Amino acid sequence: MAATTLDIALWRGDAAGGAFQRYRVPAAQRQTVLDVVTWVQRHVDSGLSYRFACRVGMCGTCAMTVNGKPRWTCRTLVDAAAKDGRLEIAPLANLPVVKDLACDMTAFFDKWRRAEGRFRPAPGLGGDFAVVPPESAARRQAEAGIECIGCAVCYSACDVAAWNSDYLGPAALNRAWTLHNDVRDGAGAARLKAVAGDAGCHSCHSHQSCREHCPKHLNPTASIAGLKRATAWAALKGEI
Amino acid sequence: MSAAATHSRWPARGHAGFWAFAVHRVSGVALALFLPAHFWALGQAIQGEAALDGFLSWAERPSVRAAEVALVVLLAAHLAGGLRLLAIELLPWSDRQKTILALAAGFTLTAGLAFLLNLR
Amino acid sequence: MRAETGLWIAQRASAAVLALCVLVHLLTIVYAVQGGLTAAEILGRTRGSWGWAAFYGVFVLAVAVHAPIGLRAVMRETLGWRGKSLEAAVAASGLCLAVLGWRAVAGLFA
C-alpha cells in the first residue's frame, strides 16, 4: 500500500547554516523527487530555492542529496528513493550552499577549467573533415565518458573531494580524459600537466563512489585511472 | 560555511568500494605502526641467540599470539586489496569489482586461517 | 616531473615489489611457525644466507618507500597536515624504516 501523503524533510537555510523542515506532500503515481520539491514551492512556500531546468535528465541542474545519497531528482522516482514514505532532501555535499537546496557550482566548474577540460584544437585542424575511426581505442575511451551532464553528483559523492577542497574531482578529470582521447585535440602534455598536480588524478583512491552514483552510469574511476597511467608515462618520458 | 556541517554527511558511503578502501587504510596504518616494533624485535638477534629467544618466549603469551594473528590478517588484507588497486589503476577496467573483492576477502581469510591453524 | 606523479609511481612500483615479497613472507611465516619458533631455527635459515639477505634487503627498501607515502596521504586527508614539515617527516620516517629494517636484516644475517 502506497502512502497517500509523504513525509518530506527539506533542508532550509543558507551559507551560514540551516535545518531540516518537515512538510506533508500528497503522494502521486510515478512522482519524482523533483515533483515533490516543486509541490512544496508551489503550494506551501514560494520562497523555497532549488534549481532545475529540463526535467528530463539532460541539463544536470537538479541534483540534490536524497536520503543521504546524491541523485538527479528529476529522474528519481519517490518510490525508488523513499523509505516508508519519508524523504530527506538536502543540497549536494562538498559545495557551498547558496540557499535551501541550491548550491554554488562555481568551484565545481572552475575545476573543469583547471583540469584543461576544454577542447583545444590541434594545429592545422579544420583544413578538412577530421577522421575519427569509431572503433579506435582512443575513440572508445572517449565514448565511455562523454555523456557527462555536469550534475556534480559524483563530486558530491566523492570522499577525496570532501577531504581536500582543492581536489579536481571525478567530473573534471573524466572530462580531461575524454579530451585526452580526442584525436582532434592538441592540448596533450599541457592537459596531463594540469591534472597531475597536488590535487589532481593521483589523489584518487578508487573508492568508486562516483561510479556508484553517476546517474548516467559513467565510470570516472576508470577515466581517472587512465589519467594516472597517461601522466605517469608522460612523466617517465620527460614530457611533463 | 559549507554545507558539510549543516546537513547529512557521509555522502554515499556504505558500498563495497568504500569498505574496501576503509580496510586498506586501517590495515596500512596498523602495519606501518607495527613495522618499527617488528624491526626492533628482530634486531635483538644482533645481541645473540639468547636475546632473540628471550623475545620469542615473551611472544608466546596468548595476547601476543592474538595480535600476531591479527597482523597476519591485516597483512594479507593489505596485499589482496593492494593487488586489487593495482589492477584497477594499471589494467583495463573490469566490471567484476565485487567478484574481485570477494576473492580478496577469501585470500585474507585463507591466510589468517593458514597461520592460525599452524600456530603452536 | 610533478611531485604527486613521482610519488604515485614510487608507491605503485614499490607495491608491485611488495606484492611478491609479502606473498613469500606470508608463506614463510606459515611454514616457520609450524612446531614453534626458536632463535636457533630462525638463525639457521638466515645466518650467512646471501639469498635470504638480498630478498629481505629489497623487502625493507620497498617498505621504506611504500609506507611513508601511504602515511603521507593519511596525514593530508585525515589530519590536514600539509606542507614542508609533512614532507620532511615523511622522508625521515622512510629513512628510519630503512635503517631499522636493514639493521634487523644485518643482525639475522651476520
Range of the domain at B31: 18-118
Q: Which of C23, C74, C96 sits opposite B29 (nearest CB)?
A: C74
Secondary structure (3-state) at C17: helix
Beta carbons of A34 and A62 less than 8 angstroms apart: yes
Provide the pairing of β-strand A5-14 with A86-90: parallel
Q: Are B11 and A209 in contact (CB < 8 Å)?
A: yes
Taking alpha carbons only, the member of B110, B34, B85 closest to residue C14 is B85
Secondary structure (3-state) at C3: helix
Sign of the CA dihedral running A33, A37, A40, A43: negative
How close does chain B come to A209, measured CA to CA in Å? 7
Nearest CA in chain A to C9: A232
Q: Are B7 and A20 in contact (CB < 8 Å)?
A: yes
Q: Is the pLDDT of residue A1 over 50?
A: no
Task: Give the model's confidence band at A55: pLDDT under 50 very low, under 70 low, under 90 confident, else very high.
Answer: very high
For testing contact with chain A, the best of B7, B19, B29, B86 (most A CBs within 10 A): B7
N residues, chain C: 110
Q: What is the distance between the alpha carbons of residues B104 and B112, in angstroms, rounded to a whole number?
A: 12
Beta carbons of C12 and C72 less than 8 angstroms apart: no
Q: Can you read off the three cell numbers belonging to residue A185?
A: 585535440
Q: Is the pLDDT of residue A123 over 60?
A: yes
Beta carbons of A198 and A167 less than 8 angstroms apart: no
What value does the mean pLDDT take over residues A186-208?
Answer: 96
Using the structure block, give the residue that is written with the C-alpha cell 556508484: A212
> What is the percentage of chain C residues whose pLDDT exceeds 70?
99
Task: Give the model's confidence band at A120: pLDDT under 50 very low, under 70 low, under 90 confident, else very high.
Answer: very high
Q: Are B76 and C26 in contact (CB < 8 Å)?
A: yes
Q: What is the pLDDT of residues B11-46, one digit of tens each?
A: 567 789 999 999 999 999 999 999 999 999 998 888
Sorted by sequence, the CB contacts under 8 Å of residue B29 that are 6+ apart come out as: C70, C71, C74
B4 domain residue, yes or no: no
B75 domain residue, yes or no: yes
Q: Which of C33, C38, C100 sits opposite B53 (nearest CB)?
A: C38
- pLDDT for position C22: 98
Task: Give the model's confidence band at C2: pLDDT under 50 very low, under 70 low, under 90 confident, else very high.
Answer: confident
Q: Are C42 and B52 in contact (CB < 8 Å)?
A: yes
The amino acid that residue A215 corresponds to is P
Helices (H), chain A: 33-43, 78-81, 106-114, 137-145, 153-157, 159-163, 170-180, 189-195, 209-213, 220-236
Give the count of domains, chain B.
1
Angle at C55 between CA C50 and CA C59, to 5 degrees: 145
Q: Are A231 and C5 in contact (CB < 8 Å)?
A: yes
Q: Measured between CB atoms, does C30 come within 8 Å of chain A?
A: no
What value does the mean pLDDT take over residues C71-97?
Answer: 96
Yes or no: domain A5-103 corresponds to CATH 3.10.20.30: yes
Which range has the worst mean pLDDT, A129-133, A136-140, B33-37, C84-88? A129-133
Nearest CA in chain A to C83: A198
Phi, psi (5° rounding) for residue C104? -65, -40
Q: What is the pLDDT of residues A68-77, one digit of tens each?
A: 999 999 999 9
Q: Can you read off the three cell numbers belonging to residue C91?
A: 622522508
Q: What is the pLDDT of residues A181-192, one digit of tens each?
A: 999 999 999 999
Which range has the worst mean pLDDT, A150-164, B11-25, B91-105? B11-25
The CATH number of residue C48's host domain is 1.20.1300.10
Q: Which residues of C touch A193 (CB under 8 A)?
A: 2
- In chain A, where the domains are located: 5-103, 106-236
Range of the domain at C17: 3-109
Q: Which of C29, C38, C71 sits opposite B115 (nearest CB)?
A: C29
How close does chain C come to B36, measured CA to CA in Å? 7
- Interface A:B, Cβ pairs < 8 A: 92
- pLDDT for position A76: 98
The amino acid that residue C47 corresponds to is R
Q: Are A70 and B12 in contact (CB < 8 Å)?
A: yes
Question: Euclidean distance between the first and final Cα of chain C, in Å?
Answer: 40
Residue C64 C-beta-side C-alpha neighbours within 13 Å: 19
What value does the mean pLDDT take over residues A32-39?
Answer: 98
Q: How is domain A106-236 classified at the CATH fold level?
A: Fumarate Reductase Iron-sulfur Protein; Chain B, domain 2 (1.10.1060)
Q: Which residues of A touch C7 (CB under 8 A)?
A: 202
Q: Which of C2, C73, C78 sits opposite A235 (nearest CB)?
A: C2
Q: What is the pLDDT of residues A90-113, one digit of tens each?
A: 999 999 999 999 999 999 999 999
Q: What is the distance between the alpha carbons of residues A75 and A59, in angstroms, rounded to a whole number?
A: 12
Provide the pairing of β-strand A17-26 with A5-14: antiparallel
Q: Can you read off the three cell numbers belonging to residue B72?
A: 597476519
Taking alpha carbons only, the member of A229, A141, A115, A176 closest to residue A132 is A141
Task: Give the model's confidence band at B6: pLDDT under 50 very low, under 70 low, under 90 confident, else very high.
Answer: very low
Q: What is the distance between the alpha carbons of residues A108 and A234, in angstroms, rounded to a whole number?
A: 27
Q: Are C5 and A164 in contact (CB < 8 Å)?
A: no
Q: Is the pLDDT of residue A138 over 70?
A: yes
What value does the mean pLDDT take over residues B79-94?
Answer: 97
The CATH number of residue B38's host domain is 1.20.1300.10
Q: Which of C5, C76, C78 sits opposite A235 (nearest CB)?
A: C5
Taking alpha carbons only, the member of A83, A96, A81, A105 closest to residue A213 is A81
B90 domain residue, yes or no: yes
Q: Measured between CB atoms, does B39 come within 8 Å of chain C?
A: yes
- pLDDT for position B5: 38
Give the count of domains, chain C.
1
Using the structure block, give the residue that is written with the C-alpha cell 609511481: C9
How close does chain C come to A74, measured CA to CA in Å? 34
Q: Can you read off the three cell numbers belonging to residue A179?
A: 579530451
Q: Which residues of A touch B2 (CB under 8 A)?
A: 94-97
Regarding an ipTM greater than 0.85, the answer is yes
What value does the mean pLDDT take over residues C81-110?
Answer: 96
Q: What is the distance between the alpha carbons of residues A203 and A207, in angstroms, rounded to a whole number?
A: 11
3-state helix/strand/coil string of C27-48: HHHHHHCCCCCCHHHHHHHHCC
Secondary structure (3-state) at A90: strand
Nearest CA in chain A to B13: A209
